[in-house]
Amino acid sequence: MSYTLMGTANYRVSMKKTPTRSENILYEVGLGEFPLVFPLLQRGLRGTAFAKIGLFLAAIPLTTYRYYWKDKAAGPMMIPFVLRADYITRQRNK
């Protein structure tokens, strides 16, 4: 569900105004880095995983903020993904 809302938010922003290169990079980092963290945690590479977690946990709220200013409905659509990412990383790091 959160991936669907994230994709819909990206679609809404790209249909209203052309997203800048930095917004596209933030979106791709937030979407692409998230699944890559868990194999690192399973292999015991906590330092590398921590760096990736920091990267995507910074990218997702930044994307949410930038999308909110382009489309008032797109910003709140990103919030479930922010909460899901935060919850899952807290569960994995216990």
CB atoms within 10 A of CB 42: 10
* Cα–Cα dist 33/54, whole Å: 10
Q: What is the dihedral of CA 14, 20, 25, 30, to 10 degrees?
A: -50
What is the tens place of the pLDDT at every residue in 27-81?
A: 777 777 667 767 776 777 777 777 777 777 888 888 888 888 888 898 888 888 8
Residue 92 scores a pLDDT above 70: no
